[in-house]
Structure 1
Amino acid sequence: MMIMLLTLVLIAGAAAAVYQFLGSSSEKAEGSEEKKTEELSAEELRELTWDMEEMTTNLKGNDRYIKTMFSLQADNEKARKELEQRDYQINNIIIHELAQLSPEDIEGSEGTTKMEERLKEKVNEVMTEGKVQRVYTTERVIQ
């Protein structure tokens, strides 16, 4: 009985150690992406960023519209070039996503951040040469 109890304690301890090790590794991996962006110089960041042209489109309900511009930061040079080549697809994605949002959905910094995250996810679905790390809203007027 004592041997069985000791074995269970050892197995539980080993499982806890493995979980702790794997959990901290994934947290480090998530944090490394943010740290990588923070470590880039302004020049390096500019080289990885593609600036979209101004766009005007309807918001949900068709009685309001938004005039906006975005800059998309890629994780590598090939991905930045791919963003330029996929400009028509990215414009389409943005038009479709904004058409689902009301002015209240993108109100304030929290709404803007949610919109940027959603656009990043959708654009990354079509990317093959890398990923978009961040979407920056560089202009926004809602009328």
Structure 2
Amino acid sequence: MKNKMLATMITLILVILLAGAIAIIVIYKMDHTSANNGPSIDKVVESSVDVPEITTNLKNNNFIKIALKIETDSKKAKKELEKRDFQVKDAVIDELSETSSEDLDSKEGKQKFLNNLKKTVDQYMQNGKIVKIYITSYVVQ
């Protein structure tokens, strides 16, 4: 009887320890998952540069007014990008001159434009990289 009680207590303690270990692992994994969801909006804003509205011709002789926000990976990259504003504007104008209004009508067309622009601007960067480019204003006529 005493051996049965001892075996039951040891089994019960092992079950409790196992449940505790599983709970700790689950909590640890949840913390890392939520931490890897990306930077906070404050971090995004403090490492982003606004490109003021640019008006230029498109490939098919329509014209566009567009404003952008470029997110970098650090404050240092942001400062560099602010100094390179003339190169960014030139890249935007060059890319748009090869794009028609029909290309920009679709979500895929806008994304292609943004991806091409990101590659071009990223080539200028020496202290960091471009994370994402957002269209903040857009009018085609």
Instruction: Tell me if both proteins adopt one fold, taking TM over 0.5 as the criterion.
Output: yes
**In the alignment, which residue of structure 1 is the partner of 2:41?**
42
Q: Which of 114, 135, 138 matches 2:136? A: 138
Residue 121 of structure 1 deviates from its aligned partner by 0.4
Residue 39 of structure 1 deviates from its aligned partner by 2.1
Q: Which of 62, 78, 81 matches 1:80? A: 78
Cα deviation digits, residues 52-87 of structure 1 (max 9, x gap): 1111000003x2000000000001111111110000
Secondary structure of the corresponding residue to residue 93 of structure 1: helix
TM-score scaled to structure 1, two decimals?
0.71
- 5+ long unaligned stretches in structure 1: 1-34
Secondary structure of the corresponding residue to residue 128 of structure 1: coil
RMSD (Å), alpha carbons: 1.7
Residue 109 of structure 1 deviates from its aligned partner by 1.3
Give, as a single letter, the amino acid of the residue that structure 1 aligns with 2:113: M
* Larger CA Rg, structure 1 vs 2: 2
* Whole-angstrom distance in 2 between the partners of 1:130 and 1:103: 32
Q: How many residue pairs align between the two structures?
A: 108
**In the alignment, which residue of structure 2 is the partner of 1:31?**
none
**In the alignment, which residue of structure 2 is the partner of 1:100?**
98
TM-score scaled to structure 2, two decimals?
0.72
**In the alignment, which residue of structure 2 is the partner of 1:55?**
54
* Whole-angstrom distance in 2 between the partners of 1:102 and 1:115: 10
Task: Sort the Cα spacing of 1:73 and 1:120 in 2 relative to 1 into closer, same or farther, 3 A.
Answer: same
> Within 5 A, what are the aligned runs for 1:7-46?
38-46=37-45
- The percentage of aligned residue pairs carrying the same residue is 37
